[in-house]
């Protein structure tokens, strides 16, 4: 499955099956593709021992418009949807922000909301005062 990482257990299972079976059968039995199995054979170590990538693979396309255009809009109306903001950018800058950048833009907006956006509404504030309330059922009654 694209995007899912293989586990150490899958690698060990593949290596055990590969002793007695061909690559494609051993890969299928361990739940990975043949291409992934080929990559596993050439790597040294288990997936948990490989360093995670922390760098961006391409430059951020929204860097120059984020502070000047998107940030003020989000400050003014934090509940605006990311797709609405992207459509506004597409109107202001035609041919610069195609629909294929939608997911990237949504990720940016959700990250902004998590770090700098408004606080989330609390639906059920739970304040417990010792001795005020007890479990209410047929056996227990209210202590107040």
Q: Is 52 left (phi over 0), alpha (psi -120 to 50) or beta?
A: beta
Q: How far apart are CA 116 and CA 17, in angstroms?
A: 50
pLDDT of the residue at 1: 46
Whether residue 56 has pLDDT greater than 70: yes
Residue 67, Cα to own-chain centre: how many angstroms?
24
Q: What is the pLDDT of residue 130?
A: 73
Average the pLDDT over 51-76 and give the result. Answer: 90
pLDDT at 135: 57
pTM as predicted: 0.56
Give the DSSP letter of residue 116. Answer: T
Q: Tell me the per-residue pLDDT of 71-110, one tens digit each, with 9 for 90 and over.
A: 999 999 988 999 999 999 999 999 999 999 999 999 999 9
Q: What is the pLDDT of residue 89?
A: 95
Taking the C-alpha atoms of residue 23 and residue 41, their distance in angstroms, rounded to an integer, is 10
């Amino acid at each position: 499955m694209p995007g899912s990482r293989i586990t150490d257990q899958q690698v060990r299972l593949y290596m055990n099956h590969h002793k007695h079976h061909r690559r494609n059968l051993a890969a299928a039995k361990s739940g990975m593709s043949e291409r992934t199995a080929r990559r596993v054979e050439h790597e040294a170590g288990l997936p948990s021992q490989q360093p995670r990538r922390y760098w961006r693979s391409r430059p951020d396309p929204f860097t120059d418009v984020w502070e000047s255009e998107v940030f003020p809009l989000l400050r003014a109306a934090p509940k605006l949807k990311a797709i609405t903001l992207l459509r506004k950018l597409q109107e202001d800058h035609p041919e610069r922000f195609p629909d294929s950048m939608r997911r990237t833009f949504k990720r940016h907006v959700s990250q902004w909301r998590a770090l700098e956006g408004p606080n989330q509404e609390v639906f059920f504030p739970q304040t417990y005062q010792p001795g005020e309330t007890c479990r209410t059922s047929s056996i227990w009654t209210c202590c107040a």
